[in-house]
Structure 1
Amino acid sequence: MASLIFGILGGILFAVIFGFVALSQIKKRNQKGRGMAIAGLVLSVVWLLACGAGVAISALNQPDRDADGTVTEEGTVSSVELKLGDCLKKLPAEGVVKAVDVVPCSQAHGAEVYAVFNLSGSTYPGSDTVIKQSEDGCTERVDALSAEAQKDDTLEVYYLYPHTSLVWNSGDHSVSCLVGSETKQYTGSLRK
């Protein structure tokens, strides 16, 4: 029964251990429960296949980058993996952003990372302070944009920052400054 329960919950290792122990005990003692032990083992295999498929899909969806780190083929990256000069297919939705779609800047895109910097401090200063420091830091770095981009009224500045103390304590203090538009697509870099 333990093998079946862990198999359902995704406890692969425990399901396998309990399944094999149960099968050997059932055989020696001529007891019932063989079907549940086998079901737990089968569910473990299903979980392994699902995890493997998830990893494979994730690996296939990663963007290609050249030696300089420039995106050469589109893909999806974690928001903390964004690099200076990355172009995003579209602006991320408001709220917590975990992943974004990046494309080569030569393709139509809705936003670009024009600056990346780290917030200082060892302890999480609180959401309001992080937002204020992120906004101020991105505003200070607007001069990295081309003159045309600075004059474009459809462009707005956005920023991705560590949203919670949990993220902060994991070591992510980075802010990615984005410039983009919800209504317009761009081709080429918006930076100088």
Structure 2
Amino acid sequence: MERRQAERRFGDRRDLRRVGGALSWAPPAGYAEPYRAPGWQDPPPRREPLAVWALVSALVGLFPVALVLGVLTLRRTRSRGTRGRGLALAALVLGAVELVVAVPALVVALLAARSLQPLPVDLAAPRQAHARQLVVGSCLGQLPNDGVVDLVTVVPCDQSHVAQVVSTTQLSGSWPGQRAVDGAVADTCRLTQAQVQAGDRLVTWAPTRSGWRQGDRTGLCLRVDG
């Protein structure tokens, strides 16, 4: 009686196997293998944290960061079996689009900034320049008509010229109106008595409203030869 109870409790001794130095029980032959409850499944792999950061970087316009993190995420999801491949691909696509848009805009901005750099006084040859590039001592081969001035012809001062920049006026603050700006620049322009007797005259160039919005705060005073 005791023996049969022990057999029912532990099963056949042949069903014991040694695992790591200890005995473990295995179901006897003819018994069903352990099963999982319906609906039970393995937990999903964790999401790669870099995938989220890559997409966030792309959404806020940090495309260089998004591209780097996107590539790293794809490598990690492949090697570690983690999730986040879809987020990484989305970050790469957005980053690539931003890169295509940003590079031409950056080139245009750099060229525009370069075109507004102040000119050297001692030019070696005539050239076209924006009025905002003129400095004290710049000489003009021709004087534009009255109105909005943009491109002018600048020549070396030892060559024939009709006007020369003799002073500049730095303005500040909010836009005061065109008449006030013109008056502020004109108040700083003066001719010497000898220049007046020689028939010279003054011409003033003041920033326009659109130029003011673009950061132009410099007024020019030009002496025109008599």
TM-score, structure 2 as length reference: 0.46
Aligned pairs for 1:20-31 (under 5 A) are 20-27=68-75, 28=77, 29=83, 30-31=85-86
Report the CA distance shift for 1:23/1:106 in structure 2 as closer, same or farther (over 3 A): same
Report the CA distance shift for 1:2/1:158 in structure 2 as closer, same or farther (over 3 A): farther
Aligned pairs for 1:75-114 (under 5 A) are 75=127, 77=129, 79-92=131-144, 94-95=147-148, 97=150, 100-107=152-159, 109=161, 111-114=162-165
- How far residue 80 of structure 1 moved from its aligned partner, in angstroms, is 4.1
Match for 1:71 among 118, 123, 130?
Answer: 123
Aligned to 1:34: 89
Q: Which moved more, 1:115-124 or 1:18-27?
A: 115-124
Q: Is the 8 A contact 1:72 1:104 kept in 2?
A: yes
- How far residue 117 of structure 1 moved from its aligned partner, in angstroms, is 3.8
- Equivalent pairs counted in the alignment come to 163
Aligned to 2:221: 177
Alignment partners' CA distance in 1, 2:57 and 2:127: 38
| Aligned Cα root-mean-square deviation (Å) | 4.9
Deviations 1:44-72 (A, max 9, x none): 3784477458647975997874xxx3323
Aligned to 2:179: 128
User: Unaligned 5+ residue runs, structure 1?
Assistant: 151-155, 181-189
Per the alignment, in what secondary structure is the counterpart of residue 115 of structure 1? strand
Alignment partners' CA distance in 2, 1:120 and 1:16: 39
Aligned to 1:161: 206
Deviations 1:119-167 (A, max 9, x none): 68877654322212333544x42757586663xxxxx753222435994
Aligned to 2:65: 17
TM-score, structure 1 as length reference: 0.51
Structure 1 vs Structure 2: percent identity of aligned residues?
21
User: Which letter does structure 2 place at the counterpart of 1:15?
Assistant: F
Per the alignment, in what secondary structure is the counterpart of residue 71 of structure 1? coil
Q: Is the 8 A contact 1:162 1:175 kept in 2?
A: yes
Alignment partners' CA distance in 2, 1:122 and 1:46: 34
Deviations 1:79-123 (A, max 9, x none): 3442233123544573264x64422134455x5224214368877
User: Unaligned 5+ residue runs, structure 2?
Assistant: 1-54, 78-82
Larger Rg: 2
